[in-house]
Amino acid sequence: MNQSTMRIGQKFPLTIKRLGINGEGVGFYKRNVVFVKGAIPGEEITVKVTKLQRNFAEAEILTIRKPSEFRQEAPCAVYEECGGCQLQHMTYEAQLINKRDIVIQALEKYARNIAENTDIKQTIGMDNPWHYRNKSQFQVRKEGKRVYAGLFAEGSNQLLNINDCSVQHPVTSKITVGTRKILQKLNIPIYDGKTLNGLVRTIVVRTGVKTGETQVCLVTTRNELPHKEELIQRIKKLDPSIVSITQNINREKTSLIFGDETIVLDGKETIHEKLGELAFDLSSRAFFQLNPEQTVHLYNEIKKAAALTGKETVVDAYCGVGTIGLWLAKDAKEVRGMDVVPESIQDAKMNARNHGFKHVRYSTGTAEDWLARWRREGFTPDVITVDPPRTGLAQSFIKSVLKIQPKRIVYTSCNPSTLAKDLAELSKLYDVKYIQPVDMFPQTAHVECVALLILQGK
């Protein structure tokens, strides 16, 4: 970046060309990249530079000279401050178009030849892109006598009290607000982020969208809980869906929500939830998709790409609690999965047992270690399905896959940049047939994709 062309506080007109990976508008000033929060592709605006970096600048909108036809008023009262959503100022139709474009941009940057020769399908959206999140984790703080529950304002330690989050399932909002008021009424000590004193840190509520069962978990700094019985009775009365109340103890000074110890205060240890024909028991700390309705669409896209006939062996790498492998199990000859988290593998084994699958097995460890070991034992999968974290596939895993050469790979990604980098490497031996974007998190800049790769010459 040519630093001399810009300075902090400088104002100039800018045309927004595209949407960045974090949902900001991207324009160019004297061939330098400028990121502008809240700007929409196609808009002509006047901006003021707020930050200069080596290869880009950040700016804020002063005036919108020519607004986009897709601009709308964000329905959420704390949208500007919160930062949890990035795209509420854009119509949903435009969000879906721009999410596909984010995928194309990533491919153009890291895998141009795939960008030019691959069918990148239209984004699969939601009929109702609001109130879809089945779990909320709201921090609790106290100011004077008032107890607040919500999220921290973007880039600060200022807690925003949120009574009705527009992307949360309504029952999670209702119970969080009710619990916050009970904590205030019973004068239960609230955690102080500065002094680290106090007791209640976080209210976590998860609801089974298909089963109507809800779990409330209070994350505390220690075991004791004053007015415990009255607290439990009052929380139970908040909503008839509550079947589990738990307490998780997190003594550490950390941004992680949960500690290692969970106590059941009332009701069951888990809640029940269904995804399509599959059912799952979820404990307080268990990972589960936050948008069950779209998860069914995502998993059906994985199933379509895997194209199983009952004769194929499948490996579900980075398998978590086994959801993807189990989704495919009915049409596979054998499914094997692995994950580095031992609790996830325990849950995966239990889930397979509960569904009566005898041809599914799970192991703790890295995908590359198990692939090498199974290969030595004479097992090479026909299909590998991967759903890695945002960092993408480990280099050692890519090497293993290129060595054992399964006929097809179904790559599910939550980060277009790492997807594009990994596809560039895998395309040495694989043709990328298509990429299907799926909108798992409406109103945010996140986009998931399912990519189908076929071994060349097959």
Q: What is the pLDDT of residues 203-217, one digit of tens each?
A: 999 999 999 999 999
- Residue of 58 and 321 predicted with greater confidence: 58
Chain centroid, CA 74 distance in Å: 22
- Give the per-residue pLDDT at 156: 86
- Give the per-residue pLDDT at 287: 81
Q: In sequence order, which residues have a C-beta less than 8 Å from that of residue 229 and are 6 or more positions away?
A: none
Residues 253, 390: one domain? no
Q: Which two tokens stand for residue 454?
A: 């076929």
Residues 116, 143: one domain? no
- 169, part of any domain: yes
Q: Which CATH number does the domain housing residue 19 bear?
A: 2.40.50.140
pLDDT in tens, 358-372: 999 999 999 999 999
Closest CA to 332 of 310, 316, 315, 352: 310
Q: Which CATH number does the domain housing residue 233 bear?
A: 2.40.50.1070
Can you tell me which residue has the tokens 């890519």?
Answer: 398
Residues 365, 436: one domain? yes
CA distance 284 to 270: 7
Average pLDDT over residues 293-315: 98
Mean of per-residue pLDDT scores for the chain: 95
CA distance 302 to 410: 7
Of 250, 282, 314, the one marking the end of a domain is 282
Average pLDDT over residues 241-248: 98
Q: What is the dihedral of CA 407, 414, 436, 363, to 10 degrees?
A: 30
Three-state secondary structure string covering the chain? CCHHHCCCCCEEEEEEEEECCCCCEEEEECCEEEEECCCCCCCEEEEEEEEECCCCEEEEEEEEEECCCCECCCCCCCHHHHCCCCCCCECHHHHHHHHHHHHHHHHHHHCHHHHHHCEECCCECCCCCCCCECEEEEEEEEECCEEEEEEECCCCCCEEECCCCCCECHHHHHHHHHHHHHHHHCCCCECCCCCCCCCEEEEEEEECCCCCCEEEEEEECCCCCCCHHHHHHHHHCCCCCEEEEEEEECCCCCCCCCCCEEEEEEECCCEEEEECCEEEEECCCCCCCCCHHHHHHHHHHHHHHHCCCCCCEEEEECCCCCHHHHHHHCCCCEEEEEECCHHHHHHHHHHHHHCCCCCEEEEECCHHHHHHHHHHCCCCCCEEEECCCCCCCCHHHHHHHHHHCCCEEEEEECCHHHHHHHHHHHCCCEEEEEEEEECCCCCCCCCEEEEEEEECCC
Average pLDDT over residues 302-309: 98
CA distance 38 to 154: 14
Average pLDDT over residues 211-229: 97
Lowest-pLDDT choice from 2-11, 312-321, 374-383: 2-11
pLDDT in tens, 413-451: 999 999 999 999 999 999 999 999 999 999 999 999 999
Confidence of residue 155 (pLDDT cuts 50, 70, 90): confident
Residues 245, 299: one domain? no
Residues 118, 195: one domain? no
Q: Which CATH number does the domain housing residue 295 bear?
A: 3.40.50.150
Can you tell me which residue has the tokens 């949890």?
Answer: 84
Does the pLDDT of residue 163 top 70, yes or no? yes
Residues 186, 204: one domain? yes
Average pLDDT over residues 303-321: 96
Of 263, 282, 301, the one marking the end of a domain is 282
CA distance 83 to 123: 23
Q: In sequence order, which residues have a C-beta less than 8 Å from that of residue 112 and are 6 or more positions away?
A: none
Residues 331, 252: one domain? no
**Does the active-site annotation cover 82?**
no
Of 258, 282, 306, the one marking the end of a domain is 282
pLDDT in tens, 124-142: 999 999 999 999 999 999 9
Residues 353, 447: one domain? yes
Does the pLDDT of residue 3 top 70, yes or no? no
Half-sphere exposure of 321 (CA within 13 A, CB side): 16
- 89, part of any domain: no
CA distance 36 to 28: 11
Catalytic residue, chosen from 85, 217, 414, 449, is 414
Domain with 447, as residue range(s), is 99-127+291-455
Confidence of residue 341 (pLDDT cuts 50, 70, 90): confident
- 174, part of any domain: yes
Does the pLDDT of residue 286 top 90, yes or no? no
- 65, part of any domain: yes
Number of folded domains that form the chain: 3
- Give the per-residue pLDDT at 418: 98
Residues 297, 422: one domain? yes
Residues 310, 365: one domain? yes
Residues 226, 319: one domain? no
- Give the per-residue pLDDT at 254: 86
Does the pLDDT of residue 272 top 90, yes or no? yes
- Give the per-residue pLDDT at 255: 85
Q: How would you class 46 by CB atoms within 10 Å of its CB: exposed for 0-12, middle for 13-18, buried for 19 or more?
A: middle
Residues 217, 196: one domain? yes
- Give the per-residue pLDDT at 178: 98
pLDDT in tens, 175-198: 999 999 999 999 999 999 888 899
CA distance 248 to 226: 15
- Give the per-residue pLDDT at 288: 87
Give the β-pairing of 430-438 and 119-120: parallel
Confidence of residue 10 (pLDDT cuts 50, 70, 90): very high
- 387, part of any domain: yes
What is the percent of the chain where pLDDT is above 90? 90
Closest CA to 190 of 205, 200, 182: 200
Give the β-pairing of 32-36 and 57-66: parallel
- 76, part of any domain: no
- 297, part of any domain: yes
Closest CA to 16 of 50, 36, 41: 41
pLDDT in tens, 378-410: 999 999 999 999 999 999 999 999 999 999 999
- 305, part of any domain: yes
CA distance 136 to 205: 5
267: β partners: 244
